[in-house]
Amino acid sequence: MKIVYFILDKALSSYYSAMEEQVSIIITIIVALLTGGFIILFLENQHVGANVIERYHFVMQPFMHRLSNYFKFLSSAKIYFSINKGTKKDDAEYVFLFNDLMDRLGHFAYPCIMSGQDYPVSKFSAKQLQEICEDINNVWYYWDRKRNYMIEYCSYDSYKAELFGKLDREYLNEVFPHKYDETNFSLGLISDVSGTFYTNVYEPIQHVPFEYERWCKKEDEFKRLTFVTIGLCMGTLVVILLLRYITPLCIMNFLTLLNIALLASCLYKFSKLESLARIVFR
């Protein structure tokens, strides 16, 4: 019987000795993942993220300045537009659509006028910005393509616009500096400014808000995966600290391999995130 106890004691001693050695290796790996991999990942991601945000603001702030001043220009300039008395909506549908379109865009000017500031770059989503700029382009489209159907049902008081339009000129010069200084106020001017804004100001940067939103979504996914992996690393350390004598070694080995796999996945997602950051401002 003593021989059996002796053999069992030796076997258990060997097992626990081997387990302690394996646990020591596991702890070394987990600590290396936490202190090395994740700290480097977070620091590098902060650097990439700050760079992307800085470049995004560098591109979008001038655009939002011009957009805000376009709204203010249109809001002031459309005051001198009127639909002829007695005009029925059924007879002049395009005129009423044109008027509603300018009213809708003109309303965007009020927050800018009241605050004395431009819209922040985060005010509109990429989709909202696209819809707004398509409406701006439609101002050009209605007058440029449909004026023959509209001209007999509406009028524009160019004399009053020139007489009282000092602020309008200032707003317009913020959108297109001195481009229209020699052009009188008219529906043709409003149409041309709108079309030029869409083609020369919005179209060159139209991909940027969409790519930036895509980058933000990917960064959020990366952060969530990183937090999950860190949580699993901490959980593995807690298991080793409190339950290592009752937890099978194979489970601890599995958790360690899972942590390594998740870190590899984080590294892969980060490389994709970095590549996308370069695409945003291609």
Query: Three-state DSSP class for 83?
Result: strand
4 in a structural domain: no
190 in a structural domain: yes
Residue type, 280: V
* 48 torsion bin: left (phi>0), alpha (psi -120 to 50), beta (else): alpha
Q: Give the domain range for residue 29.
A: 18-54+209-279
Do 170 and 213 share a domain, yes or no? no
pLDDT for res 261 = 85
Token pair belonging to 218: 């990917």
Do 232 and 133 share a domain, yes or no? no
In this prediction, residues 100-127 reach a mean pLDDT of 90
pLDDT for res 201 = 93
CA distance 128 to 226: 31
Do 138 and 162 share a domain, yes or no? yes
Q: What is the pTM of this model?
A: 0.80
Do 154 and 69 share a domain, yes or no? yes
Q: What is the pLDDT of residues 81-104, one digit of tens each?
A: 888 887 777 777 788 888 899 999
Final residue of a domain: which of 159, 191, 207? 207
Tell whether the model's pLDDT for residue 182 goes beyond 60: yes
Do 98 and 183 share a domain, yes or no? yes
